[in-house]
A and B are shown apart, each in its own frame.
Chain A
Amino acid sequence: MISILDYGAGNTNSVIRMIERAGGQAQRISTIDEILAAQKLIIPGVGAFDYGMTQLSTKGLIDTLNIVAFEKPIPILGICLGMQLMCCSSEEGTVPGLSWIAANVSRFTTTQINDLRIPHMGWNTLKIVKENPLLPLEDTEKRFYFVHSYKVNCDNPNDPIAITHYGEDFVAAFQHNNLIGVQFHPEKSHRFGMDLIRRFVEFNLA
């Protein structure tokens, strides 16, 4: 059973539908007790960084999230804003992130030079740079749906697992132990996303 955190800043329904289609079971959760009981967690997210963090803190969820991330620990997948919230800070806002991953979030900088539009919106491919449980190294032809104006920069060179190019290379996915983040939307990426979600359904910590 995968628990999808509903904190008022993400499209939980689409994620639940994709998990069910991938053969898994999913439930929408929102309380401290439900987070503590979760075996696997997905933090979805759409919208602004500060809004997302403020939602987590006003609902009093941050301490509990820290517990399941580090003390239990359970597999956690952050999607889009959910991935960015796992980082320390973002240029988009002033509120600190969850600081689970040594990374910060910044705006695309080279897009003006290359006449690229912000947000980076549409389908793009990945370069898988490290063995990981969700994206097989040999899968180079897969495409995923992205929509974001800010990108993750990892401090630890071992954390990025996939890189995408939009004017510049950026981290499309990272993993640090049980914590995984993807910038794209697997729940909206057809069979490519379904495959990733199925792997997350099957993923267990060694």
Chain B
Amino acid sequence: MLKHRVIPALLLRDGGLVKTRQFKNAKYVGDPINAIRIFNDKEVDELMVLDIVASKRGQEPDYEAIELFAGECFMPLCYGGGVRTLEQAAKIFDLGVEKISLQSSALTDVELVSAIAKRFGSQSVVVSVDVKYNWLKRPHLYQSSNGRLLKKNWIAFAQEAVAAGAGEILINAVDRDGEMCGYDIGLIKQAANAVSVPVIALGGARNLQDFKHAVDAGASAVAAGAMFVFHGPHRAVLITYPPYAELEKHLDIKHD
């Protein structure tokens, strides 16, 4: 039986680890290497590290930092942020990273998804579908690099990404980012029905029950940020990850 993956999603800005709310108000939460070491010791299923400013500023990925991260990860590592070319992707894989998450560049150049999938396999490309609601409460594709809601249908984009070769779709609910109010179950259901590849849920997790809800809605994996870096109502920084037995208990599998 396959275990559903539980993935800490860490955000980087200028070399530091931060946590946002609704993609804004990044709060410094510590040194990324220290956090990654703790997550490695806690034997997390997988780790995701996303540089939230590289694309916005048109910067190169921070290869030195990525190599250090990969050296601490004895589990799969996914990196995202500022990857625009196949050459950059190749360099990152060579540093010891298993997966690259594309968002901005997949929106403008779905060919990049194909190029990476063809060369490194679909399992190495995650496409992040960031969804934000407009004032009419309709879900829209969100481009975080310029803060715009796009006209393109978010489900159609997810399907295009999969057709281009994406091996996983990360559904990132922007309005729930850092809010710890539960996942957007509707989005997860729609995404899981619309694509045949694994769907990773992100945005809103606060407890193990939320993981279970996301998995029941069709998520193959659940990711969380705030839940793993904050503790208590005052959001004190504390790196945590549930013991494996706890996860197993809450994420008992529907099918085998």
Contacts and interface: CB of A to CB of B under 8 A. Distances in A.
Interface of A: 11, 13-14, 17-18, 21, 46-48, 114-125, 143, 145-149, 165-167, 185, 187-191, 193-194
Among A21, A119, A123, A188, find the residue whose CB has the most chain B CB atoms closer than 10 A.
A123
Interface string B1-29: 11111000000000000000000000000
| Contact residues of A: prevailing secondary structure | mixed
B78 to A, nearest CB: 12
A189 B5 CA distance: 13
B121 A189 contact: no
Interface of B: 1-5, 40, 43, 45-46, 70-71, 73-76, 93-96, 98, 119-124, 167-168, 196-198, 220-221, 255-256
A111 to B, nearest CB: 10
25 contacts: A11-B93, A13-B70, A14-B96, A18-B74, A21-B74, A47-B121, A116-B2, A117-B196, A117-B220, A118-B196, A119-B123, A119-B198, A120-B2, A123-B45, A124-B1, A124-B2, A145-B45, A145-B76, A147-B76, A165-B256, A185-B76, A187-B74, A188-B73, A188-B75, A190-B75
B45 A46 contact: no
A114 B253 CA distance: 13
Contacts of B167: 119, 121
B132 to A, nearest CB: 26
A13 B94 contact: yes
A122 B74 contact: no
Given A116-B2, A121-B220, 6 more contacts: A13-B70, A119-B123, A121-B168, A123-B45, A124-B1, A147-B123
